[in-house]
Structure formats: structure tokens, C-alpha cells
Amino acid sequence: AQSVTQLDSHVSVSEGTPVLLRCNYSSSYSPSLFWYVQHPNKGLQLLLKYTSAATLVKGINGFEAEFKKSETSFHLTKPSAHMSDAAEYFCVVFSFQKLVFGTGTRLLVSP
């Protein structure tokens, strides 16, 4: 079965500094991977998705992620954090008609 591991439960950054949220996956074949964001008291929103077209995927709000097969990673990055980026982020893999969610990383952004 495919799975994802989010390596940090919390990440703290200052506004204007880079963001790195780490995700590793396990898969026996080429996976479909996603990043979702959840703002407080809201449902989840798709940030970006990887489906084997390009290894560098650009998403909404300036986020991007790079698929690295050799490292089985799909880390999420943003060059400059904004206060509005404070939220919980989920790495997700598609497996057998089901989406399997990581445990989430809470991003804290300080002024």
C-alpha cells in the first residue's frame, strides 16, 4: 500500500523567509501526489498536484513542490512566507481509488 510521511508536525518561520514542508512517500509504482491546505475551521483546499508530467509543480499562492523519485520525496516550498500562509498542510497520495493523507504539518508564521 502507498503511504506518505510528513516529517514535521510543526514548522515555524518569520514572514518573508522561505518555507519548506517535507513529505516522503512510499510507492511500488509512479504515484499521484497532492498537497492540500486547511485554514482554521475550514475544509481542505488543493494547493498542487503531481501526476508524472513535470517534476517541478507550481501551485496556488506561490507554492511549488518538486517530485524526486530517487529520494521518494515531494517537499513543498515557498520563497517568501506571508502571514496568510499560516495553516495546516497535508501531503496526500492517491492509491487504489482512495486518497491517503499524511498526518499534517502546521505552519506558523510570525511577524
Partner 1 sequence: NAGVTQTPKFQVLKTGQSMTLQCAQDMNHEYMSWYRQDPGMGLRLIHYSVGAGITDQGEVPNGYNVSRSTTEDFPLRLLSAAPSQTSVYFCASKSRESSYNSPLHFGNGTRLTVT
Tell which one of 12, 14, 45, 80 touches partner 1 (CB under 8 A).
45
**In 59-102, where do the E strands start and end?**
64-68, 73-78, 87-95, 98-101
The residue range among 17-25, 40-48, 67-75, 77-85 that interacts with partner 1, by the rule CB under 8 A, is 40-48
If binding is defined by CB under 8 A, does position 99 make contact with partner 1?
Answer: yes
The C-alpha angle with vertex 85 and arms to 81 and 89, in degrees rounded to 5, equals 115
Helix (H) or strand (E) holding 4: strand 3-6
Give the residues lining the site for partner 1 (CB under 8 A).
9, 32, 34, 36, 41-46, 49, 51, 90, 94, 97-99, 101-104
